[in-house]
Amino acid sequence: MSNTLSPDKNGAQPGHSEAPTIERQSQVSQQDAELQGLDRLQTDVRSTKNFKKTLARVLAPLIAVVVLILIWQFYVWFGGKRQDVVPGPLDVVATLAQLWEQGSLQEAVWTSVQRGLIGFVVSAVIGTALGLLLAQVRPLRTAFGPLISGLQVLPSVAWVPAAIIWFGLSDGTVYFVLLMGAIPSIINGLLSGIDQVPPQFRAMGTVLGATKTELSLRIILPAALPGYLSGLKQGWAFSWRSLMAAEIIAIGGTLGFGLGSLLQRGRDLSDMGIVMAAILVILFVGIVVELAVFAPIERRLLRGRGLLPG
CB of 127 closer than 8 Å to CB of 231: yes
Q: Per-domain residue ranges for the chain?
A: 112-304
DSSP of 11-51, one letter per residue? SPPTTTTHHHHHHHHHHHHHHHHHHHHHHHHHHHHHHHHHH
Over the stretch 293-307, which tens digit does the pLDDT of each residue have? 888 888 888 777 766
Enumerate residues 6+ apart whose C-beta is below 8 A from 81: 75
CA distance 175 to 72: 35
CA distance 152 to 145: 11
Enumerate residues 6+ apart whose C-beta is below 8 A from 260: 112, 243, 244, 245, 246, 247, 248
- Give me the phi and psi of 307, to 5 degrees please: -95, 0
Query: Residue 281: what pLDDT?
Result: 94
Number of neighbours of residue 35 by Cβ within 10 angstroms: 10
Query: Residue 1: what pLDDT?
Result: 44
Task: Flag the least confident range among 71-75, 254-258, 276-280.
Answer: 254-258
DSSP of 169-218, one letter per residue? SSHHHHHHHHHHHHHHHHHHHHHHHHHTS-HHHHHHHHHTT--HHHIIII
Query: Residue 163 pLDDT > 50, yes or no?
Result: yes
Over the stretch 206-252, which tens digit does the pLDDT of each residue have? 888 878 778 877 888 888 888 888 889 989 999 999 899 888 888 77
- Give me the phi and psi of 247, to 5 degrees please: -70, -30
Query: Residue 10 pLDDT > 70, yes or no?
Result: no
Quick one: fold of 112-304?
MetI-like fold (1.10.3720)
CB of 232 closer than 8 Å to CB of 300: no
Region for residue 258 given its phi and psi (left: phi exceeds 0; alpha: psi -120 to 50; beta: otherwise): beta
Q: Looking at per-residue confidence, does 216 or 10 come out higher?
A: 216
CB of 251 closer than 8 Å to CB of 264: yes
CA distance 57 to 303: 17
CA distance 88 to 72: 7
Q: Give the mean model confidence (pLDDT) for residues 242-263.
A: 85
Q: Confidence class of residue 78 from pLDDT cuts 50, 70 and 90?
A: confident
Q: Confidence class of residue 5 from pLDDT cuts 50, 70 and 90?
A: very low
Region for residue 250 given its phi and psi (left: phi exceeds 0; alpha: psi -120 to 50; beta: otherwise): beta
Number of neighbours of residue 76 by Cβ within 10 angstroms: 18
Q: Looking at per-residue confidence, does 45 or 119 come out higher?
A: 119
Q: Which of 243, 260, 85 is nearest to 178 (CA)?
A: 243
Number of neighbours of residue 158 by Cβ within 10 angstroms: 12
